[in-house]
Every structure is written in structure tokens, then in C-alpha cells.
Structure 1
Amino acid sequence: DTDSLFIQLKKDEGKEAAQNGMRIAGDLNNFWKDKISSEYGLASHLEIEFEKYYRKFIITPARGSESGAKKRYAGIVVESAAGGEKEKLEFVGLEFVRSDWTRLAKEFQVELYTKVFNEEDVDDWIREIVKKVKAGEYDEKLVYRKRLRKDVDDYTKNIPQHVKAARLLPESVGTVYYVITKRGPIPIELKHNDIDYNHYIEKQLKPITDSVLSLLDKSFDSIVESDQLSFF
């Protein structure tokens, strides 16, 4: 009972989105009521209801695929408010809502999608973020956080990064805070002045960028590499 159905309104229907959404939901419910009654002689208990209206909406492609991923989308939600309407950016199933992604990734994703929805150019902005990451200006935003689900000694195969970091600590912890260095994952309690910036660029910024810019026939690599080529 939590599955969603997305319907694209006609151009002029967005002005009264809530009314049109409720009308469409009513039409669908009546359709199934009549169909189930006429074909099976049963009362329909299927019911769909209007929930929200996205003024702009993106379903990101599944990684390694051109088709949209289930329950991975973002949009600008229009809500009723005192004196009119207000808009907010909403993420479902993307990195922004995951606790095990860095603050850099979350802030980057919010700003990137905001710019895309506002049809702003993002190329120079992305290049600037990459430069600042490499310069160490975002080090405090590169910390991963993940809970241990069992004792570190109970992990025997395919040991996750946060477990490797936890094993370096003198005492056990419930949640591990760590960064990726050129030596591997290191808890923030220990010296970590050799942060692997390429890891964060390739594993955080790049997948977030490509998930949305692929819809615009752009890629993270093409944007960053064009900046490097400009030096020659």
C-alpha cells in the first residue's frame, strides 16, 4: 500500500494541480470499482489517493542502465502555505537521505539538483568544487559515519571499510566516524593528513553528477577533463 503512481499533467493543469490530482484519483478509483464489479461481481477495495504535486521532477537512471531506478527520484514539491504556495526540494532514495554518505556529498547533491531544476549552468561550479576538494578546503565534510551491527571480530569475510577503521581504535564504538586516506579507512580519532581526495571525487561527486547530468547528455568526466585540457 505504499507504491506510487506518477502522472504527468497537461501543461495548463499544473495551475490547479491539487484539484486535478484528486479528480484523476477519483476517476481511477471509479474505473476499478466498475471493472471489478462487472467482471468479478466483487466490491473493489483498491483505492488510490492524491498525495503531492511536483512542479519539476527527475527519476534518476539506475546505475549502469538508461532506465529509471525504483524509488530514486527528486523533485520540487509545491505545498499550500499561508498566503499562497511554497516550494521545497525533496529527495527519495538518493544519497541525500542516506546516513552513510558524507556531508560533502549531501550538500553537493542539493546544490546540483537546485541548479539543474533552475536550468543554471553547472560546469564551472562542478570544476570549482573539485578544485576545492583537492585543495583540502572541505576536509571536515569528508567524514563517513556508519554503525557497527556486530562486534568487529565477528566480521570475517568482505570486511567493510568502517569495520577496518574500527579495528584501529583502542576501544569498541557503536558508530564509526572515519575518512578514506591513501592508507585506507582511518578513524578520525587517529592521524589522517593523507586524505585520498580522488576517492571522494570518484566515489561521491562523480556518481551523484552522472545520475542527473546523464539526462542532459553530459558527464562528470567530460566536465572535469575539459578543465584540465584548457591548460594545454
Structure 2
Amino acid sequence: MGWHQELLIGFDLETTGTDPSASRIVTAAVLEVKEGVPIGRREWLADPGVPIPDEAAAIHGVTTERAAAEGRPAAEVVEEIARVLVGYWQTGVPVVAYNAAFDLTMLAAELRRYGLASLSERLGGEVGPVLDPYTIDRAVDRYRKGKRTLEATCAVYGVALDGAHEAGADALAAVRVACAVAERYEQVGGADLWELHRSQIGWYADWAAGYQQWLRKKGTPDAIVEARWPLR
């Protein structure tokens, strides 16, 4: 039985912006999923303590006013998310996140911001296993043209995405895409979880090097693309 037929944990954040080192968490979801069916769910709404830009609110639907009125203190939310994810990792259950390098780097930055223990400190070592269908799909179908957004990749693999940019919907879609990739590519579905985790480290680094080279050819000689995964 492959990993995609076992328990998987979907994870997604919606935030105040696109820079994981400077933005703040607004909403988060952690879903327990078995064979594509959600069997457990945790969701959070945080008050980030800073204004939520209008362009971000237009995407995920949470305004500054709503977050202040209904959201919990950000430090509490960040601590709970970390504790929940670490609990799964400690039992060997993988966390699935689409473009995991963003979400996990974002969580790591928030933990530092509030003086909380890091993910690696809680685990006593390496963070994982992590499954990132964005990175995996880009490696196994390298030359496919078109966008690699979650919505676009869902369409490629026949995965329904209802309510894009809602953390729970995106987390569930990420798991379903990961399972679809595993079903389509035997080398993915049959891989050992930690071997696949470490393969993604190399795949992400290879992509980053290629993208940096492309940017420099296009006239940005000082371009630096972060190559570390799953934490930048």
C-alpha cells in the first residue's frame, strides 16, 4: 500500500502578503485526509495585529476589521498550528502543502516573531516528512506548459477545487493532487516517504538553479532564487 492510501495531513495558510518572512498569518487549516476524504479538520482565524491589505483581503475574504473582531491572538494561533503539525510528524504522518516552502517558511517566521520554539527544536531534528505536490509535479512533468498554480494543477489532474484561497479548500485540494500524482507516476506513489522528502530537496534546488539562470539571461544578473526546501 502506497503512502497516498494512508493518512495524510493537508496544510494551508492564508496571509497578509506574499513575503513569508514579513507577512502574517490570517487563516490556517490542518485536515486529516484518508484516500481523498477529509476525516478531521482544524481551522484558525488570527488577528495578525497589522492591517490586512485590500488586495490580500480580496483573495481570502478576511478584512482587517473582521480579523480584529473575530480572530484569536496571533501568538496563540501560531503556537497551536506548530504543535498540531509536530504531533503528526512525531508519529511519522506526512504533511502535504502546495508550495510548502512558502507555508512552512511563513510559519517558521511567525514562530520566531513571537519567541516560540522552532519546528526543528520541537522535533529534535529535521522537519518532515513533507509532501509538496507543486515541487513533485514540476519534477515529474518538467516540460508541461502553462501555469503551476494550485487551480491549474488541479485541472491537469482532474481534482475539483471548490472555494480556492480558502485555507481548508486549498489544503484538501493539495492532498488530492498529491494522491493523483502518486497514482499517475509509480516512482512517486511507490517511494518511501523520507526518500521522497529528500528527493524534493534536490528537485527544488535544481528548479531554483534553472530559474535563476533563466532570470539572468533575461537581464537580471543579480537575481537570487532561494533554493532551500521545505524551509527557506
TM-score category of the 2 structures, normalised to the smaller one:
under 0.3
Give 1 or 2: higher helix fraction. Answer: 2
Which fold has the larger relative contact order, with Cα–Cα distance below 8 Å and residues 6 or more apart in sequence? 2
Give 1 or 2: higher strand fraction. Answer: 1
